[in-house]
Amino acid sequence: MATITDPQTLAFIAATEAAYPADANGASAEENRRYYNQMCSLFYRGRPEGLPVTDRAIAGVRCRIYGAETPVVVLYAHGGGYIVGGLESHDDICAEIADATGLQVVAVDYRLAPEYRFPAQIGDVGAVWEALDRPGVVVGDSAGPVWSRRCVWICAKAGGCLWDRF
């Protein structure tokens, strides 16, 4: 394995590790969410000035909308290993995507495991995707693309989406 020598990468790793106690692997999901949110807050860069941001439910799922409506929308599913993450932890990432692309971004606050078992997460992402009234791109990080890719695959196989079955 290659040795990491980049000072910025090493500083990032050190700050990330410092945010988690040594016994985090044995902690509850709720405790790990707290650690994760604290870690994310260390790197929070804020939102671009003037970017409109609103929270609202779409198809019964809590979402955060970045930017004014555009002809194409970006649907964002956050990462976090299916257990952590949410609208706050990925707020600046979504804001940056909206600002950089000029497209409206809809971030999905899908239900987390272990409280909600698979396939509830795909159902949440898919329900929001289906409720959007225009073409879009489904993106995310870490665990997010798994839900995104799966929801698109299900739609393609089914010839349409039927998210109420989840």
Which pLDDT tens digit goes with each residue over 55-89? 999 999 999 999 999 999 999 999 888 899 999 99
Dihedral of CA atoms 106, 107, 111, 117 in degrees, nearest 10, equals 90
β-pairing, 104-108 vs 73-77, is parallel
Predicted confidence band of residue 166 (pLDDT cuts 50, 70, 90): very low
Percent of the chain's residues with pLDDT above 70:
86
Strand partners, 108: 63, 77
Distance CA 147, CA 129 (A): 11
Give me the domains of the chain, ranges plus CATH numbers: 1-43 (no CATH), 51-165 (3.40.50.1820)
Question: For residue 121, what pLDDT is reported?
Answer: 87
- Mean pLDDT across the chain: 88
Given strand 136-140, what is the order of strands in its sheet? Answer: 53-58, 61-66, 104-108, 73-77, 136-140
pLDDT tens digit sequence for 117-159 = 988 888 898 889 889 888 888 888 877 666 666 666 666 665 6
Whose tokens are 């790197």? That residue is 43
The per-residue pLDDT for 52 is: 98
Tell me the whole-structure pTM to 2 decimals: 0.86
> What's the rounded Cα separation, in Å, for the pair 132 and 114?
28
Task: Write phi, then psi, for 110 (nearest 5 degrees).
Answer: -65, 155
At a CB cut-off of 8 Å and minimum separation 6, what does 122 contact?
A: 147, 150, 151, 154, 166
